[in-house]
């Protein structure tokens, strides 16, 4: 979200922008996971569940996205909550249409020679050169990238630590009759939501179940297949129900889910033409990530 918000703003003002993302498609922590099984496809918003809007500019962006049919209100948990439609990643897919993005490209190094930056992916050096770089990745990953070029920025990223979140995605043959649409607590299960309760989803009984930070930390290094039965049991306990056998169940470990965010908004060094944006600089939400990206773009244009 932060990277695309930054790139969109710059591109709309005539800059030539190229993005690289290690993911297979647009999403980051707003990804939607599609799982095909027995001729059916199940979809899960397995990162951010919804986003709220408090900033006026973000509210205008929301109106535009609503007009494009890629977000809708879901005033279920909070009156000002929105979700992507038909999946959480929809606004990102929408922005991606106008941007030049190479997916499945993990950047592992940056080098500066004179005024030109070159980048290295896992497959080797990339052919292009760039006059400016915006690093829009979680703090723990930014540390490695910034470390060789900008000690001070890397130090700010090192100061951030993110809580993990083990997330269970499970689908059932029938709708649970008496379960709430969502469940929140500060126990082993922090939040669970019926994915199909959100607008514009299909009817399959899909649930996303997020373990709390303590539980996630204690079980961080387990394999997903070990975590699945444990979280199913905790989910049953949370709903006070004997869960039926799921049609499918899988788990995803978000190692850096929720940052202990600072309030710098973004980082920019006009001499080195290097900056950073992301939720870790502005808050810990989708809106914060969007605002951080826009702030970095504005700073880059203003400070040159
Ligand atoms: C389980 C979970 C639940 C959440 N729930 C909510 C919620 O309900 N509401 C809310 O507002 N927020 C929620 N959040 C937080 C929200 O998702 C984030 O604040 C927001 O998506 C952060 O956006 P970002 O652009 O800063 O980072 P990210 O979305 O993490 O984007 C960073 C991008 O960088 C890419 N990347 C990383 N390293 C490299 C590399 N070396 N090379 C190339 N690409 C790289 C990644 O693939 C990713 O696409 C949740 C997060 C999680 C994980």
Domain ranges of the chain: 2-31+89-160+260-303, 162-258
The structure tokens listed for 288 are: 């914060």
Query: Quick one: 77 exposed, middle or buried, by C-beta within 10 A (0-12, 13-18, 19+)?
Result: middle
Q: Is the CB of 190 under 6 A from ligand 1?
A: no
Query: Quick one: 290 exposed, middle or buried, by C-beta within 10 A (0-12, 13-18, 19+)?
Result: buried
Question: In the CATH scheme, what is the code of domain 2-31+89-160+260-303?
Answer: 3.50.50.60
Q: Within 13 A of 110's CA, how many CA atoms are on the CB side?
A: 24
Answer yes or no: pTM beyond 0.75.
yes
Residue that the structure tokens 């979280």 belong to: 231
Q: Is the CB of 20 under 6 A from ligand 1?
A: yes
Cis bond before residue 159 (omega within 30° of 0): no
Each of the 304 residues of the chain gets a pLDDT tens digit; together they read 999 999 999 999 999 999 999 999 999 999 999 999 999 999 999 999 999 999 999 999 999 999 999 999 999 888 889 999 999 999 999 999 999 999 999 999 999 999 999 999 999 999 999 999 999 999 999 999 999 899 999 999 999 999 999 999 999 999 887 788 889 998 899 999 999 899 999 888 999 999 999 999 999 999 999 999 999 999 999 998 889 999 999 999 999 999 997 889 999 999 999 999 999 999 999 999 999 999 999 999 999 7
- Expressed in angstroms and rounded, the spacing between residue 39 Cα and the centre of ligand 1 is 30
What gap in Å lies between CA 6 and CA 277, rounded to an integer?
Answer: 8
Domains 2-31+89-160+260-303 and 162-258 share a fold: no
CATH of 162-258, one of 3.40.50.10860, 3.40.640.10, 3.40.50.1110, 3.90.660.10: 3.90.660.10
- Expressed in angstroms and rounded, the spacing between residue 28 Cα and the centre of ligand 1 is 5
- Expressed in angstroms and rounded, the spacing between residue 114 Cα and the centre of ligand 1 is 32
Residue 194: what pLDDT? 94
Residue 146: what pLDDT? 96
Phi, psi of 212 (to 5 degrees): -70, 165
Q: Is the CB of 286 under 6 A from ligand 1?
A: yes
In sequence order, what are the beta bridge partners of 227? none
Residue 63: what pLDDT? 97
Cβ count near 131 (within 10 Å): 10
The structure tokens listed for 277 are: 């944006």
């Amino acid at each position: 979200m932060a990277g695309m918000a930054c790139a969109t703003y710059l591109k709309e003002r005539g800059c030539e922008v190229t993005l690289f993302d290690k993911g297979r498609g647009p999403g980051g922590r707003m990804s939607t996971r599609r799982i095909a099984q027995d001729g059916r496809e199940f979809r899960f918003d397995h990162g951010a569940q919804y986003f709220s809007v408090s900033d006026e500019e973000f509210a205008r962006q929301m109106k535009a996205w609503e007009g494009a049919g890629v977000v809708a209100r879901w005033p279920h948990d909070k009156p000002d909550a929105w979700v992507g439609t038909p999946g959480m990643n929809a606004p990102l897919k929408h922005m991606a249409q106008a941007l030049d993005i190479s997916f499945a490209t993990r950047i592992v190094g940056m080098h500066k020679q004179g005024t030109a930056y070159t980048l290295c992916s896992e497959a080797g050096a990339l052919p292009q050169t760039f006059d400016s770089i915006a690093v829009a990745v979680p703090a723990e990953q930014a540390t490695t990238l910034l470390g060789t070029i900008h000690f001070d920025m890397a130090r700010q990223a090192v100061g951030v630590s993110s809580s993990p979140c083990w997330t269970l995605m499970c689908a059932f043959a029938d709708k649970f009759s008496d379960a709430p649409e969502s469940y929140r607590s500060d126990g082993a299960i922090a939040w669970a939501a019926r994915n199909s309760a959100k607008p514009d989803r299909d009817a399959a009984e899909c649930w996303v179940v997020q373990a709390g930070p303590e539980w996630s930390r204690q079980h961080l290094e387990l394999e997903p297949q070990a975590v699945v039965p444990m979280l199913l049991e905790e989910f049953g306990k949370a709903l006070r129900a004997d869960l039926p056998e799921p049609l499918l169940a899988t788990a995803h470990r978000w190692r850096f889910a929720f940052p202990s965010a600072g309030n710098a908004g973004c980082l920019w060094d006009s001499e080195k033409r290097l900056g950073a944006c992301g939720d870790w600089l502005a808050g810990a939400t989708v809106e914060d990530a969007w605002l951080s990206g826009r702030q970095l773009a504005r700073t880059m244009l203003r400070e040159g």
